[in-house]
Amino acid sequence: MYLWGILNCTLVWIQQIFNWALNPIGAQKYIYASMVAWLLVALWTSRIVVRIPLAIGVILVMQVWFTVCSMHAASTIARTSVLNGMDILLPVYVLCFLQAQALVWMAPESRRFIGRLVIPVCVISGIVALAQFKGVGPAIQYSNLVRQAEIVFDFSGTGEIVRAPGLHANIGTAISFGTMCMLMMSVVLFFRPFKWWEMGSIGILLLSTLLVQVRNQLLVIGLTVLWVGYLITKKYKFGGITFSTATLGLLGVYLVQNRDAFGYLFQGGTGTLDYRRLALWPQAYNILDQRPIFGIGIEPGFAGWTTQLLPNKWVTERLMDNGWLLAAAFGGYPGLGLMVLTVLTAFIAATIHALKPSEDVWHLAFKFAVLSSVIFFATGMFWGTLWANPINTSFYFIIAGLAMPSDSRLFPAKFVPHFRRHDED
């Protein structure tokens, strides 16, 4: 059961990196089917306790409302039936949360295993991102394969600019995981000093968040840097101040020396924002004008990753690029209200949960990861769809499940090979 659950959670994350190989064989549906089977077996054999936080409950209510809106909406060219593949999107996220919560309830060691897998891979991804940024051909070719799109752009005659996501398929995910892993590693300072390779990893992760060149996440990067810098200064006193100042100084020099290469981050202008404001977002405004209460239900044409036929009655561009407006388009103003309530309750719960005593360092690390993820979504949904793509979003719910409390008494240690229980450390 333990290894099966670990495999399910890990595959949800791996599909972000190997989507080019897993998507063609429909791996997602097999992963989710495996999760359903695991939960049924766990409920039957281990008597796990399933707890539904308020934010997860609101997500389920939002799914019900979107379905009602889909049934109420007039037919469009693209929607030949009431239900479609995206109608199970939100339940899939709840499924991922329940899988991780049940796993950590039985075996808290699963946090340590997944954390020790994700953080090193993200550091390696940061090194790959640096290679992409420097124009190393194989690294760029690999990212083009993973993203199924070019990562080299030409902005307003400023020349070629690389937005380097490293190993990740999604640019937003790359920056989110960079800041998340920095926060997860920073909790070590509550227990002991950094080791040299941990210091180096923090630096690589920080640089990787800038190499992606996502302007709307500079706030998240800034908050992360301030928090990690505070912990380093508190732990090392004068040495911490010296290290933090030197690191930021070197980073500033690097940015200045490569300012042309960071053209999208600092000189990209308002082109992409104008495109969203003038071409994408008016689709939601049009729907809210005509159907303010029910919206049009879940419309795959706005997701960007679907194969919808265009145009149709409501969809003029295959993207919305605003998670808040997407909820409004799907469910009218009530749908937007439910999305606001989801993020608000998640932020409050994550903050309260982070302040409570933790079982061990990995429990605290994942609680910080959840708080980072909520802030990422709250700010990122103004300029990106985010929650409409399960490949990019599902693992955040795995993280949320892993941050839940555990009860190790329900899972015998003999079924956890090669890992010590947290209360035996």
CA atoms of 124 and 90, how far apart (whole Å): 31
Q: CA 125 to CA 164: how far, in whole Å?
A: 10
pTM of the predicted model over 0.75: yes
Q: What is the 3-state secondary structure (H, E, C) of 308-342?
A: CCCCCCCCCCCCCCCHHHHHHHHHHHHHHHHHHHH
Distance between start and end Cα atoms, the chain = 23
- Residue 186: partners with Cβ closer than 8 Å, 6 or more residues away: 202, 227, 228, 231, 368
pLDDT for position 176: 87
Instruction: Reduce the secondary structure of 194-205 to three states and give it as a string.
Output: CCHHHHHHHHHH
Distance CA 354, CA 363 (A): 9
Q: What single letter denotes the amino acid at residue 6?
A: I
In this prediction, residue 421 has a pLDDT band, given cuts at 50, 70 and 90, of very low
Residue with the bigger pLDDT between 408 and 207: it is 207
φ, ψ of residue 153 in degrees (nearest 5): -125, 160
Interatomic CA distance for residues 17 and 23, integer angstroms: 11
Per-residue pLDDT of 256-293, as tens digits, reads 887 777 777 766 554 567 777 788 888 899 999 999 99
Q: What are residue 139's phi and psi, to 5 degrees? A: -65, -40
Q: What integer pLDDT is reported at residue 415 of this predicted model? A: 38
**Can you tell me the mean pLDDT for 22-44?**
86
Whether 339 shows a pLDDT value over 90: the answer reads yes
Gap between the Cα atoms of 359 and 357, Å rounded: 7
Residue 381 reports pLDDT greater than 80: yes
Instruction: Give the per-residue pLDDT at 411.
Output: 41
Proportion of the chain above pLDDT 70, given as a percent: 85
- DSSP classification of residue 149: S
pLDDT of residue 308: 57
**Average pLDDT value for residue range 171-191:** 88
Give dist(CA 111, CA 104) in Å, integer: 7
219-256 tens-digit pLDDT: 888 888 889 888 888 888 888 788 788 888 888 888 88
* C-alpha span between 36 and 28 (Å, rounded): 13
Q: How distant, in Å, are the alpha carbons of 217, 300, 323, 373, 395 from that of 381?
A: 10, 17, 4, 12, 17
pLDDT tens digits along 62-81: 999 998 888 877 655 445 45
Token digits for 339?
A: 């999305």
Q: Does residue 420 register a pLDDT over 50?
A: no
Residues of the chain with pLDDT > 90, as a percent, come to: 31
